[in-house]
Amino acid sequence: MISQWSKEDFSYSYLVPLIVLYLLWEKKDKLKTVVSNPGWFGLAVLLSGIFLFWLGELGGEFYTIYLSSWFVLNGLLWLHLGWKKLTIIAFPVFLILTMFPPPNFIYNKLSVGLKLISTKLAVAMLQLYGMSAHREGNIIDLGFTQLQVVDACSGLRYLIPLIVLGILLAYFFKASFWKRALIVISTVPLSIITNSLRIALTGILYEIWGAKVAEGFFHGFSGWFIFMFSLTVLLLEMWVLKKVQGSRFKVQGLKRQDVGGLGGLEAGKQASIQNSKFKIQNIVSPPQFIVAVVLLGATLAFSQGIEFRENIPISKPLNQFPLTVDEWTGTWQSMEQKYIDALDLSDYMIIDYQDRIGRDVNLYVAYYESQRKGESIHSPATCLTGSGWIFNKAGQITIPVPAREGSFMLVNRAFMQKTGHKQLVYYWFAQRGRILTNAYQLKIFTFWDALTKQRTDGALVRVITPVYESEQPEDAEARLQAFVNDIDPFIGEYVPGKDV
């Protein structure tokens, strides 16, 4: 987890443990007034954490392992301190969740979506300012230059820490629940708007000072300034909300302070005296401690003794894929190394095929030997929209494939448009003999096959054909389905199936 914090998107996580420790220290006096009452209900939480650990370790998903550590911590606290003390420190324990980097397939989808939203808003701001700006995907064309809104400028780098900041402000904001909830919720649109403003300002200042405003010191400083501006807006929002029905809240606050009376003070004194008598046997003597040690010790022993190595099947190199398939003749294409590194794939191929009359179909296959712990297939629905293609009539379609068992297959289909060009695309995930169509299916079956087969290999298959001006969309549909029928048996030879 800490290695993930070195990425700039998650660097805020270094501060979260320090904040949690401060919040726990702030509760020390209140904890002294409550007697520890160990309870067996914490065992269920502890067992849930151990189950998530095995699920994450065998299935190869980091976030599941992060969550397991949080459940184990909660289970141990409940077992040893009891429910009442756990409720006192509930907020700092909850805040621990914010230092866990989210799963890659969710993070990537959010990043692409926020890039497109930020780009659209930035273009609107630039046009409002009076500049000529045109958007194509996440690229802003200003005439004299082009600005590309990359992952670092998606706004996700500001959104997550700003949400954490909003949660902290809401925690210290002594007001009704709806006001505190509004503070947290408002961080989302605030982050998107301020990030769009930053992109727009970069475009405005680019015309004056050139490329140096889009990189280096100014780029970093503008990010810091936008974050501080967002904090100011949140504080102003709190000030406005405090003015709403402020007198009523003060009366309720006084009533809450009076609860307990002399009996509560006396009980607090007795609990403080009992808690002050700290002895090591108070921790190790309860049976809950022994049960927890046995469970965690057994988990440690089994985790060191069980072989987690994947059974990676032997597959044919994709560069041996035939260039002549029935009536189709192909030409190899390649990707830049920076894209290969970003995709984390094991092997890939891009081939432009033509039929006898010169109609084109592009075939792209990305193969992954392993999809464990952070490595996963990138969906075309995110990368194609980011490059400016507009998805119309996107959905799923069942196409006939006589050579396949069942004689048909369900694939994703989209009709795309970009600056007058039209294309039809099919794509699917070939996963150990299955044809899957969405990332959630992909993750579920990756878990299951990792547990039962020690395999997480799989591939993305994408085929695209242009819709020519001289033809109808139905003609492109028939051409693409005929091509899928021709190449599907070969895909099965190069992408390992269920029986490997």
The CA distance from 167 to 289, in Å, is: 33
Residue 253: what pLDDT? 40
Residues 6+ apart with CB under 8 A from 104: 374, 375, 376
Question: What average pLDDT does range 337-342 have in this prediction?
Answer: 80
* Whole-number average pLDDT of the chain: 81
CATH class of 318-494: alpha beta
The CA distance from 320 to 328, in Å, is: 16
Helix-helix angle 156-172:177-209, to 10 degrees: 150
Q: Looking at the predicted structure, is the pLDDT value of residue 250 above 50?
A: no
pLDDT, tens only, 175-206: 889 999 999 999 989 988 888 888 888 777 77
What 8-state DSSP symbol labels residue 285? S
Under 8 Å between Cβ of 69 and 49: yes
Q: Looking at the predicted structure, is the pLDDT value of residue 335 above 80?
A: yes
Residue 39: what pLDDT? 80
In the chain, CATH 3.40.1000 sits at 318-494
Q: Looking at the predicted structure, is the pLDDT value of residue 47 above 50?
A: yes
Percent of the chain with pLDDT over 90: 32
Under 8 Å between Cβ of 152 and 119: no
Residue with more model confidence, 358 or 107: 358
pLDDT, tens only, 410-445: 999 988 877 778 899 999 999 988 999 987 888 888
Question: What average pLDDT does range 400-413 have in this prediction?
Answer: 82
Q: Which of 401-405, 412-416, 460-464 has the lowest mean pLDDT?
A: 401-405
Burial environment of residue 337 by CB neighbours within 10 A (0 to 12, 13 to 18, 19 or more) = exposed
Residue 90: what pLDDT? 94
Question: What average pLDDT does range 255-264 have in this prediction?
Answer: 44
Residue with more model confidence, 431 or 265: 431
Task: Tell me the three state secondary structure of residue 440.
Answer: helix
pLDDT, tens only, 311-323: 778 788 999 999 9
Cα 274 to Cα 34, 203, 289: the distances in Å are 9, 64, 19
Q: Please tell me which of 5-14, 16-25, 405-414 the model is most confident about, judged by mean pLDDT.
A: 16-25
The CA distance from 131 to 127, in Å, is: 5
pTM for the full model?
Answer: 0.70
Residue 146: what pLDDT? 62
The CA distance from 140 to 42, in Å, is: 54
Q: Looking at the predicted structure, is the pLDDT value of residue 159 above 50?
A: yes
